[in-house]
Amino acid sequence: MIQKSQKIKILAIETSCDETAAALIEGKTVNNKQLTINILSSVVASQIKLHQKYGGVYPEMASRAHAEKIIPVINKVINNKAVSIGMRDIDAIAVTVGPGLIGSLLVGVNAAKTLAYALQKPLIPINHLEGHIYANFVGNLKTKNEKVKTTTKNLKVPEFPLVALTVAGGHTALVLMKEHLDYQILGETLDDAAGEAFDKVARLLDLGYPGGPAIEQISARWKSKIQNSKFKTNPNIQIPNSKLIKLPRPMIHSDDFNFSFSGLKTAVLKIVKEEKFDQAALAFEFQEAVTDVLATKTLKATQKYKAKSVLLGGGVAANQRLRQKLTSQIQKYTDAQIFIPPLSLCTDNAAMIAAAAVFHFALKKERENWYNVKAEGNLRF
């Protein structure tokens, strides 16, 4: 039960992959029932530049960089001039304990344990995936990525049952939630995660790391080229066959909620090896294939479980094409509300970890002793 007029301040740490992040947030009850979450301070130190030359995350380098950055990042969050609270005013420390790279996770978990011990505060272990879901409960809640001023009148929050699609570099999952902190995995990827597929295909196309934003950019260029070209003004003119690339939509009609993206990567590799191809056209079709599958399966789950809300989360949720496609399908075929976090809360950050922790703190009686909290690379729900 959420208590009346409860205020909770959480300091969260996230180091599961290649971003060293910390955030300070405040959870408040509104209308005596709904917890709203506001970010007081959030810092993300990205390691993208470090890993770019390897075309992907280099785990050993990632943990070293986390070790260097973790204290300065926490310091910056705490010393934000706009935030007039001290470490002693914090109710709990939260930390991502998995899934992720074990060497990276250990840096964050040990920093969080040290703080919890020194400050004598509870330590809340958070699953990275629930963080991506709870990004949709952060601050000035919004639909369609528009910020709506949080007032007690127009407050929009996800309602249960809800379906959450989390799509990132390390995981892809469709999750059903009937209430807070209750996760039922409907489907997962059987091989590559959606973000991993973006990264691998970008590497095949020499587009650099991270692949998602690179593929999105070049695809947008291809789309505007087609739209502005003579093909649009005179539909009788055929687009040359060499420019029409068709990729499969793996498992789009399977009667489960699982995904598979490795075949798509192989199909792209085949084209890259055997044929002359237009790089932008291929990137565009790849993005269409991935987003078609993700949007179709999420719609199906929404209908099957009569979800009242649909939540998108994870790095791939930053993709505009996915945001558009999912929003239009959900709005067209269901009465569910769609929630999509702002871009800064899609890719890894600590505010989303703190958001999940607020609900753990408010709804769970037992407090974890820092001593029992452990990093777990393969953590599941």
Rule CB under 6 A: is residue 17 a binding residue for ligand KG4?
yes
Could you say which of 198, 257, 305, 339 contacts ligand KG4 (CB under 6 A)? Answer: 198
Q: What is 274-299 written as a DSSP string? A: HS---HHHHHHHHHHHHHHHHHHHHH
Single out the residue of 314, 362, 349 nearest to residue 133, CA to CA.
Answer: 314
Segment interacting with ligand KG4 (CB under 6 A) among 45-53, 63-71, 162-170, 268-276: 162-170
Could you say which of 103, 125, 212, 341 contacts ligand KG4 (CB under 6 A)? Answer: 212
Nearer Cβ to ligand KG4 (122/210)? 210
Q: How far is the CB of 99 from ligand KG4 (least distance, A)?
A: 9
Q: How far is the CB of 320 from Zn ion (least distance, A)?
A: 18
Question: Going edge to edge, which strands form the sheet with 123-127?
Answer: 34-46, 19-30, 7-14, 92-98, 123-127
Segment interacting with ligand KG4 (CB under 6 A) among 63-71, 207-215, 230-238, 364-372: 207-215
Pick one of ligand KG4, Zn ion, none as the site partner of residue 211 (Cβ within 5 to 8 A by kind).
ligand KG4
> Helices 211-228 and 279-304 sit at what angle, rounded to 10 degrees?
110
Sign of torsion over alpha carbons 2, 6, 7, 10: negative
Sign of torsion over alpha carbons 380, 50, 43, 337: negative
Query: Contact, 49 vs 65, CB < 8 A?
Result: no
Pick out residues in 163-182 that bind ligand KG4 (CB under 6 A): 168-170
- Whole-angstrom CA distances from 320 to 38, 73, 157, 331 are 25, 29, 22, 16
What is the token pair recorded at 50?
A: 């470090």
Rule CB under 5 A: is residue 288 a binding residue for Zn ion?
no
Could you say which of 98, 108, 122, 213 contacts ligand KG4 (CB under 6 A)? Answer: 213
- Rounded distance between C-alpha atoms, residue 53 and residue 94, angstroms: 32
- Rounded distance between C-alpha atoms, residue 293 and residue 131, angstroms: 23
Segment interacting with ligand KG4 (CB under 6 A) among 205-213, 243-251, 268-276, 358-366: 205-213
Q: How far is the CB of 324 from ligand KG4 (least distance, A)?
A: 12
Pick one of ligand KG4, Zn ion, none as the site partner of residue 347 (Cβ within 5 to 8 A by kind).
ligand KG4
Q: How would you class 228 by CB atoms within 10 Å of its CB: exposed for 0-12, middle for 13-18, buried for 19 or more?
A: exposed
Rule CB under 6 A: is residue 91 a binding residue for ligand KG4?
no
- Rounded distance between C-alpha atoms, residue 21 and residue 45, angstroms: 6
- Rounded distance between C-alpha atoms, residue 10 and residue 39, angstroms: 10
What letter does residue 235 receive in the DSSP assignment? Answer: T
Could you say which of 91, 130, 216, 348 contacts Zn ion (CB under 5 A)? Answer: 348
Query: Contact, 317 vs 339, CB < 8 A?
Result: no
Q: How far is the CB of 52 from Zn ion (least distance, A)?
A: 18
Could you say which of 103, 158, 250, 314 contacts ligand KG4 (CB under 6 A)? Answer: 314
Could you say which of 318, 326, 345, 357 contacts ligand KG4 (CB under 6 A)? Answer: 318
Pick one of Zn ion, ligand KG4, none as the site partner of residue 356 (Cβ within 5 to 8 A by kind).
none
Could you say which of 168, 218, 280, 356 contacts Zn ion (CB under 5 A)? Answer: 168
Contacting residues toward Zn ion, per CB under 5 A? 168, 348
Contacting residues toward ligand KG4, per CB under 6 A? 17, 168-170, 195-196, 198-199, 210-213, 216, 314-316, 318-319, 347-348
